[in-house]
Amino acid sequence: MSTVMAGIGLVKKYASATALAGVDVEVRERESLAIMGPSGSGKSTLLHTLAGIIRPDGGQVLLRGERIDHWGENRLSALRRGRFGFVFQSGQLLPELPAEENVALPLMLGGVVRKEAVVRARRWFAPLGLEGLEQRRPGQLSGGQAQRVAIARALAVEPDVVFADEPTGALDQATGEEVVKLLTSVTRQQGASLVMVTHDAEVAAHCDRIVHVRDGRITRYSQYTVTP
Ligand code: ADP
């Protein structure tokens, strides 16, 4: 399977901590990769470094073989907008916009005109079990529905890679399970790769591979047979 992204020898140091102490990691075509580990182990720093949000102090980040870690901020921000999708724990939807416009927003930021962006956004509602909720404001959605809207928003730009940071962290177990199943399956159908940070083994088990992080280092990989 070919590699979409790679981190090579990634180092990130803060005054009080070494968040990444030399991490090598690859993200393969169409796979879902979970980053697991205890709090403070460097999971979020690794995800944000791969996603071009945090600039590493050492090492390289490659996207389809091209080095991106030394790109300028404008170029990185265009890359994040056009080729990456993001799902965070919660609170990422704009409360004043209907769900469909929240999903359309990254498309509009990428230059698609509003009407066309909303048409394209609406296509994601059925696959994510959100039919009929297009006009709802985020405050009128349950936590699980809001996360599914966030997934639609991440996928609407048809990204190469979706980055998810504790996407089930604010949900109860059953809802989290439902959301992670949709996130992994719809991302795969779309042909994108998924990189997901979680501290929850049951959530990670939905991914194709799991990388275990501790003290800024990868300690091991594990692999699961994909359960649909
Ligand atoms: P995790 O996601 O596994 O909880 P993080 O990547 O958030 O871990 O953090 C790894 C380490 O780096 C921790 O010791 C954390 O305190 C530190 N750290 C992360 N971000 C910052 C920051 N912006 N400033 C200072 N220290 C940070």
pLDDT, tens digit, 9 for 90 and up, residues 145-191: 999 999 999 999 999 999 999 999 989 999 999 999 999 999 999 99
Ligand 1 site residues (CB inside 6 A) read 14, 16-17, 19, 37, 39-45
Residue 20 CA, closest ligand 1 atom number: 10
Rounded CA separation 107/120 (Å): 9
Q: What is the mean pLDDT of the chain?
A: 94
Nearest residue (CA) to ligand 1, atom 6: 42
By the 8 A CB rule, do 76 and 48 touch?
no
Nearest residue (CA) to ligand 1, atom 21: 14
Q: What pLDDT digit, counting tens, does each position of 4-48 carry?
A: 999 999 999 999 999 999 999 999 999 999 999 999 999 999 999
Work out the average pLDDT over 44-59: 97
By the 8 A CB rule, do 147 and 108 touch?
no
Residue 41 confidence (pLDDT): 95
Indicate whether 219 pLDDT > 60: yes
Residue 96 confidence (pLDDT): 96
Nearest residue (CA) to ligand 1, atom 13: 40
Percent of the chain residues past pLDDT 90, beyond the cut: 91
The arrangement of strands across the sheet holding 3-13 comes to 18-28, 3-13, 58-63, 66-67
